[in-house]
Amino acid sequence: RVTDTLAKEGPSSPSYDWFQTDSVVTIVIYTKQKDIGLDSVIIDHQDDSFRAETIIKDYSYLVHIGLSHEVQEDFSVRVVENVGKIEIILKKREKTSWKCLGHPLENDNSLVPKKDTGLYYRKCQLISKEEVTHDTKLFCVMLPPSTHLQVPTGQHVYLKLTITGTEIVKPYTPVSNSLLSEFKEPVLPNNKYIYFLIKIYPTGLFTPELDHLQIGDFVSVSSPEGNFKVSKLQELEDLFLLAAGTGFTPMVKILNYALTYIPCLRKVKLMFFNKTEDDIIWRSQLEKLAFRDKRFDVEFVLSAPTSDWNGKQGHISPALLSDFLKASLDKSKVLICICGPTPFTEEGIRLLHDLNFSKDEIHSFTA
Ligand code: FAD
Ligand code: NAD
């Protein structure tokens, strides 16, 4: 057993070590934190360069090594949660004994505030593209076998394409592939597929190019970002979701997570604002879910309905909100999530403050 690198920052900072058998090399990251999961570590290796970024609270701990020998493309990851240990098991190409793991690359063994790290991208293949509404599609991309990455609930990634010689980058929020299939994240390891609901703006800069990609083409996907934490959902009794247009996307995983993992949850209510009925994303899935799970209710509000619409109308307003936001019990623990066009979100936050909801009870998704 060889100790390759020890902590530079004293006993409480993370460190890593490695060991080997005939056929595998195991890299062990000691985070010294308890709330570590499979979505806490992002691993990429290309040729002989190995990169593992571990998110520890608001910090990023990087292991970045030029490996001394070749390994196979795929690898496995295990997390020992109660001690905060991450094990990455690389398969040797040849059954030789390694004298050293390799040489440190840029920023190896460094712990820096996450906000100070740049985004890292890997190329993902477009697997499928499916129409959801007249202008919105469900895109599925596949991570390379040499990447381990799980986007935490409530977080987004950046997609990057080179358009006429210029790199264009826009943020998108991964969703589950459906509201009705069994929700497996973040339990399922090695999940290689990422789904996005993306609205194509005909005069937009990025989305028409994305829409022109063929199945099998590549798009670069960044590591996740965002300040929502699922810990906000712990002990929650009432969850209210206010979504407008594609502002629905962060709600998808939050909804699935809450219904699956929060036992004390009594009610989840979604108020979904759109221009017309044709714009409503996953309407029949939402209605089926409401039928199937009595804890979930959905209300659609249209800002430009046709004359035969019998449902709620207009923009976000005090009247709509005060009626909608009735908690299932007095003093129940409440969270309100809001996302949509900036004027919608800003107006919503203002109205929620007027209705005496505290900052802790509101989470807004913004740029
Ligand atoms: P843009 O070029 O930005 O144009 C968008 C629209 O505005 C077009 O109709 C365009 O004609 C019009 N426009 C552009 N400039 C002007 C102007 N100066 N004056 C008037 N009109 C103008 N979108 C999704 O579909 N799904 C998601 O999951 C998603 N997640 C997001 C997550 C985050 C954190 C954020 C901040 C945004 C998210 N978005 C999402 C929005 C997404 O990032 C893009 O803004 C969107 O796809 C539009 O990009 P575009 O380059 O195609 O259009
Ligand atoms: P849209 O133009 O179809 O509008 C949907 C609804 O939003 C309207 O029916 C209306 O009720 C409301 N709305 C629109 N403009 C409003 C205004 N000025 N005041 C009050 N309410 C208003 O929406 P879209 O084209 O789907 O756009 C969705 C927006 O959500 C985009 O701006 C996108 O960037 C944003 N988004 C943000 C995130 C995030 O920050 N995490 C994620 C996804 C989408």
With a 6 Å cutoff on the Cβ, whether 197 touches ligand 1 is yes
Contact 247, 345 (CB under 8 A): yes
Residue 6 in domain: no
Residue 289 in domain: yes
Q: What is the pLDDT of residue 190?
A: 62
Of the three residues 222, 257, 287, the one that is the final residue of a domain is 222
On whether both 318 and 341 belong to a single domain, the answer is yes
Average pLDDT, integer, range 223-233: 95
**Closest listed ligand to the CA of 154:** 2
Q: What is the pLDDT of residue 299?
A: 98
Average pLDDT, integer, range 231-240: 95
Contact 127, 215 (CB under 8 A): yes
On whether both 244 and 202 belong to a single domain, the answer is no
On whether both 35 and 96 belong to a single domain, the answer is yes
Position in ligand 1 atom list of the atom nearest CA 174: 28
Measured from CB, residues less than 6 Å from any atom of ligand 2 are 156, 173, 199, 244-247, 249-250, 273-275, 279, 303, 315-316, 339-341, 343-344, 347, 365-367
With a 6 Å cutoff on the Cβ, whether 170 touches ligand 1 is yes
With a 6 Å cutoff on the Cβ, whether 18 touches ligand 1 is no
CATH (domain of 327): 3.40.50.80
With a 6 Å cutoff on the Cβ, whether 207 touches ligand 1 is yes
Q: Which two tokens stand for residue 165?
A: 């010689």
Residue 310 in domain: yes
Residue 20: alpha-carbon gap to chain centroid: 33
Ligand 2 centroid to 224 CA: how many Å?
A: 22
On whether both 196 and 237 belong to a single domain, the answer is no
On whether both 240 and 360 belong to a single domain, the answer is yes
CATH (domain of 208): 2.40.30.10
Contact 325, 240 (CB under 8 A): yes
Residue 8 in domain: no
Position in ligand 2 atom list of the atom nearest CA 199: 26
On whether both 213 and 239 belong to a single domain, the answer is no
Please tell me the least confidently modeled range out of 11-15, 19-23, 25-29, 333-337: 11-15
Percent of the chain with pLDDT over 70: 95
ipTM: 0.97
Residue 2 in domain: no
Ligand 1 centroid to 276 CA: how many Å?
A: 19
On whether both 351 and 329 belong to a single domain, the answer is yes
Regarding predicted confidence, which is higher, 5 or 147? Answer: 147
Nearest CA to ligand 1 atom 53: 204
pLDDT digits (tens, 9 = 90+) for 256-271: 999 999 999 999 999 9
Average pLDDT, integer, range 19-46: 94
pLDDT above 90 for 311: yes
DSSP 146-199: TEE--PPTT-BEEEEEEETTEEEEEEE-EE-S-SSSPP-TTTSTT--EEEEEEE
Cα–Cα distance measured from residue 19 to residue 2, given in angstroms and rounded to the nearest whole number: 7
Cα–Cα distance measured from residue 51 to residue 64, given in angstroms and rounded to the nearest whole number: 4
Domain count, the chain: 3
pLDDT above 80 for 46: yes
With a 6 Å cutoff on the Cβ, whether 367 touches ligand 1 is yes
Ligand 2 centroid to 349 CA: how many Å?
A: 14
On whether both 146 and 98 belong to a single domain, the answer is no
If phi over 0 gives left and psi between -120 and 50 gives alpha, with beta otherwise, what is residue 153?
beta
Nearest CA to ligand 1 atom 7: 204
Residue 287 in domain: yes
On whether both 125 and 109 belong to a single domain, the answer is no
Please tell me the least confidently modeled range out of 177-181, 240-244, 313-317: 177-181
Average pLDDT, integer, range 212-241: 96
On whether both 66 and 104 belong to a single domain, the answer is yes
pLDDT above 80 for 4: no
In the structure, what pLDDT confidence band is assigned to residue 197 with cuts at 50, 70 and 90? Answer: very high
Of the three residues 195, 222, 249, the one that is the final residue of a domain is 222
Q: What is the pLDDT of residue 282?
A: 98
Nearest CA to ligand 2 atom 4: 245
3 state DSSP class of 76? strand
Position in ligand 2 atom list of the atom nearest CA 248: 43
CATH (domain of 46): 2.60.40.790
pLDDT above 70 for 187: no
Of the three residues 222, 246, 272, the one that is the final residue of a domain is 222
Residue 148 in domain: yes
In the structure, what pLDDT confidence band is assigned to residue 3 with cuts at 50, 70 and 90? Answer: very low
On whether both 65 and 111 belong to a single domain, the answer is yes
Q: What is the pLDDT of residue 191?
A: 81
Burial of 210-238, coded b for 16+ CB within 10 Å and e otherwise, reads: bbebeeeeebbbbbbebebebebbeebbb
Which of 119, 246, 338 is the pocket-test mutation for ligand 1 (most atoms within 8 Å of CB)? Answer: 246
Residue 1 in domain: no
Cα–Cα distance measured from residue 340 to residue 328, given in angstroms and rounded to the nearest whole number: 25
Q: What is the pLDDT of residue 331?
A: 84
CA angle 298, 356, 156 (to 5 degrees): 55
Q: What is the pLDDT of residue 188?
A: 58
Q: Which domain holds residue 354?
A: 230-364
pLDDT digits (tens, 9 = 90+) for 106-153: 999 999 999 999 999 999 999 999 999 999 999 999 999 999 999 999
Percent of the chain with pLDDT over 90: 87
On whether both 357 and 255 belong to a single domain, the answer is yes
In the structure, what pLDDT confidence band is assigned to residue 5 with cuts at 50, 70 and 90? Answer: very low
